[in-house]
Structure 1
Amino acid sequence: MKISVERSALLKAANRAQGVVERRSTIPILSNVLIEAEDAEASLRATDLDIEVVERIPAMVSQAGACTVPALTLYEIARKLPDGATVALAHDATAGRLDVSAGRARFTLPTLPREDFPLMALSDYDVSYIARAAELRRLFEKASFAISTEETRYYLNGVFLHVVERDGEKRLRAVATDGHRLACIDMAAPEGAREAPDVIVPRKTVGELRKLLEGGAEEIEVSVSATKIRFRAGELTLTSKVIDGSFPDYTRVIPQGNDREMTVDAAEFAKAVDRVATVSAERSRAVKLALDEDRLVLTVNSPDTGSATDEMAVAYSAEPLEIGFNAKYLLEIAGQIDRENAVFLFADSGAPTLVREGADDSAIYVVMPMRV
């Protein structure tokens, strides 16, 4: 194989590849990226056996072929080469090496046989549909912070993507929860998505999907089956197994009767929480919210690190209320609010609190209180 590619194209593709490969894999081939060259393009493919990413880039192909090289090393080489450089890749199958050159810089990388590289099995998908990238990005980004990292409850280690009917309309919904907070985000279901099976998209896939959605494509082709999900944008394809498990009935924990409403400037609220949390104990980061007529007092008391209070004006006319929360959870939810105001709906000091973005209920969040 002998090809020449633009440094910028190689860097972008190698960056996606090194994000997928396993850094500490006991299987050496899984640390490699498969480079295949044919006609006027080269493809870079990486996998960890659960996720596979393939990106095609333009190339001048002098000799078609394929080889695998360490993905992280190839990325670091491409990153450190000068902008605008043309990178030549020449594979010597007999010697088992890939020569990489750009200008006066020369590198030699070890290769492993192409035949050893595991390809994700092709499968039929139940449905395929086209979604706007901006809407899909909103769906996953707003839900991803609530994904659980607790491996014992593996079925919570991802985003639950499914179709629901709401007000007579089919909606594509993403839900994530770790048992302490929950994010539930809706968008109008694209044509063709209405019969899609319910799937749990793994946390790592969600992270890689974010890179794909930031690539500038306006539309994403989504294909779904009971075992896999595939996202395709232009020359980039991300395929992933889905989590084999049942997501719990999250609707039971979304409060319906919370009638104590507080409206607050989301950005100012986040700043106030961050200020008082400066003195909180790292383990609990507990902050108390004391509400009365159009006034919110935030308090932190830590026997070891001190105390702090802050006060701000809010819109609140219900009975006085004191309730405690993990400051980290409040900051993460406030960080998701796109609109100026956040609306908190309380029941009492021991019940889950519902948060939404102004009058928009297409994105709602639930956070459990804690004792303070």
Structure 2
Amino acid sequence: MSDVDRSIRVRAFLEQWLSVLLIAAVVLAAVGGWWSYQVHASPEVERDSVTVGQWSESTAFDHSSVVINDSLVFEEGERVRNRPVYYVNLAEELDVTYAYAHTADEGSVDVTTDVRLVYRGVEGEDVLWQYAEPLASGSDEGVTADENHTVDATVDIDEVFANIDTIERQLGAAGTIEIRVVATSSVEGTLSGQSVSATYESAMPITVTQQTLRVLETETIDESSQQTDTIERVVEPSGLEAAGSVLVFVVGLVGTGGLLIARRRDLIGLSPDEGEILEIHQQEQEFSEWITRGTFPSEREYEATILVDDLEGLVDVAIDTNKRVIKDEQLGVSTVLDGDYVYVYVRPDSPAEDWLVNYADMTMDEFEQFEG
């Protein structure tokens, strides 16, 4: 009898917090339903970018010259190729071949190229003047990866020196003269399914002295391109997500339904006796410093036994008489012994309630009237 039945505590808790628990259960069911819908009916979609086509475009220069004078090193009529230095005494012309190519697996482009010889005077990073003369041009349609677009041009070495002399005579020798073979290509078409429209400029710098013509490092194009496509992939939910979302929804739904049914059938509310028992338990906790566990005497040793209506009243008696409250857990009764009187409070769940009530001589009200 020392503790309250657990079902009473649970029902008291549910009765006190029923509205809050109902709201929480409804919210839980809504969250679980939304989560379950997102997981099963509206799965996550991942978008990945994949390369469906890849190619490169490049340009290059080849150069060569025919030896016109016999020497110990070179034979007359011999063609020397891609040399860093050509000797003026042995060559009249420098032959240049410009090439454009791509590596696309499918598609083709139309290419038009103009090649020109550019003279310019520079001083530091400043360009003082520039003069260009055309060397060659060419165009090809439907250039695929299996073929190159090429343009051949010829640089007349004597004419180069003549132009330099004329420029220096007209302008003076200010700055440094640079010479460049410049090729400009316009590219139009479709490569690997992607439209291409570009203009590329490549250059082959040349320096000259009275004895040599030197080809410097070329400035060419090497462009890589790719065509991408976006693919969508449905992300399958994990087992935890799939089961967890359904579980949250079911728990919320069952909780809501269970609470509503319990309220409708009055399964939650406490009876008057149960409410009193719970109140007694709370009072016992509150007045524990006045209560001592003991055993109710089985024999009449007192002038009168007075019934007290509630435990709080019995504690008041103990305070007034400066006595202890003796609690008999087995009988479910609490007493205060004061001289010839015993004050008794009988719990509503006491197994000896009838006997104890019959045992009493009077109620507390009757005793107070008697005393008065």
Higher percent of residues as helix: 2
Q: What is the TM-score normalised by the length of structure 2?
A: 0.16
Q: What is the TM-score normalised by the length of structure 1?
A: 0.16
Query: Higher relative contact order by CA 8 Å / sep ≥ 6: 1 or 2?
Result: 2
